[in-house]
């Protein structure tokens, strides 16, 4: 239980009402973004966070779907914002075939986890 916490929201690039949230408490933070395209506002919100929860819909070699991130854009976001840990969500089945999680892991310094039901992450 947190005594004091702060929640900050920023717009993301998906639909008009799409947001990313940063929750800060006890000197630590978590950033959660739903669907988004590459976004400077998400990068700025995520700088040095303990945990970034980010979507990655399709592999790089499939046509870019507006409003969703590719592994290359996830890698760029992680390398620019420098979170300690990353949980990647919203992986379409095509991502399994391309081993997207391993591609992201091998190109960033952060610990990268694939989202799973009931996953718990310490920060």
117: DSSP letter: T
DSSP 55-88: E--S-TTS-PPTTS--HHHHHHHHHHH--SEEEE
pLDDT tens profile 16-74: 778 999 999 999 999 999 888 889 999 999 999 999 999 998 777 776 667 788 999 99
Higher pLDDT, 43 or 11: 43
For position 74, what pLDDT does the model report?
Answer: 95
Question: Has residue 123 been placed in a domain?
Answer: no
pLDDT tens profile 84-105: 999 999 887 777 767 899 999 9
Question: Has residue 50 been placed in a domain?
Answer: yes
User: How many domains are contained in the chain?
Assistant: 1
Domain of residue 59, CATH code:
3.60.15.10
Question: Has residue 41 been placed in a domain?
Answer: yes
Going by C-alpha positions, the residue among 69, 75, 60, 74 that lies closest to residue 108 is: 75
Question: Has residue 37 been placed in a domain?
Answer: yes
Going by C-alpha positions, the residue among 114, 29, 43, 123 that lies closest to residue 78 is: 43
For position 63, what pLDDT does the model report?
Answer: 61
Structural domain of 95 = 6-114
Question: Has residue 1 been placed in a domain?
Answer: no
Question: Has residue 67 been placed in a domain?
Answer: yes
């Amino acid at each position: 239980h947190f005594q004091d916490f702060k929640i900050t929201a920023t717009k993301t690039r998906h639909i008009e009402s799409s947001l990313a949230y940063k929750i800060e408490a006890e000197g630590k933070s978590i950033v959660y973004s739903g669907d988004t395209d590459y976004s400077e506002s998400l990068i700025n919100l995520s700088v040095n966070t303990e945990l970034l929860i980010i979507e990655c819909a399709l592999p790089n070699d499939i046509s870019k779907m507006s409003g969703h991130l590719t592994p290359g854009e996830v890698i760029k976001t992680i390398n620019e914002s420098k979170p300690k840990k990353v949980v990647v969500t919203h992986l379409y089945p095509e991502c399994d075939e391309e081993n997207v999680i391993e591609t992201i892991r091998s190109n960033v310094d952060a610990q990268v986890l694939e989202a799973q039901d009931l996953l718990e992450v310490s920060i």
